[in-house]
Amino acid sequence: MKTILFVDDEKLIVQSFRELLEMEDGSNNLDIQTFTSKSCGKDTLHWIEHNKPDIAVLDIILNGVSGIDIANKLISIYKKPKIVFLTGCDESTAMVKKAKDMIESHENVSYYNKLDDNWYEDIIEYIIEQTR
């Protein structure tokens, strides 16, 4: 079983992502762990100290702890985790630039913008491809 970690502070996005991924995963091969709340960043940091996700999908901007912080923690613990950054922010924001810098310096790190058409389908396709 492969573990997918999805962290976003928007409940509707997390719920939709889970439903789409469960529909696509016909083999029930995925354990989908989601965090969504005002403390989702801190809760996620605690969770990853005891659990290794096969793929982590992280909203870049969260309350308190950012997706960048969570990614750095994953990298420090697991060396080469598969990380997908997700944002609805403008490409020029400082946090998006930090995420893109991380993509340049680490393997297995990618980026999707919620403002792009079909971003859900692209991430679902990537996860299914990476977990087979």
For residue 36, what is the domain's CATH number? 3.40.50.2300
Is the pLDDT score of 20 beyond 80? yes
Q: Which of these ranges, 1-5, 14-18, 37-41, 128-132, has the smallest mean pLDDT?
A: 37-41
**pLDDT tens digits, 35-53:** 887 777 788 988 999 999 9
Decide which of 31 and 91 is more confident.
31
Q: H-helix or E-strand containing 30? A: strand 30-35
Residues 6+ apart with CB under 8 A from 21: 4, 30, 32, 124, 127
For position 50, what pLDDT does the model report?
Answer: 92
| Residue 55: domain span | 2-130
Number of domains in the chain: 1
**pLDDT tens digits along 98-122:** 888 888 888 888 887 777 777 878 8
Contact 111, 84 (CB under 8 A): yes
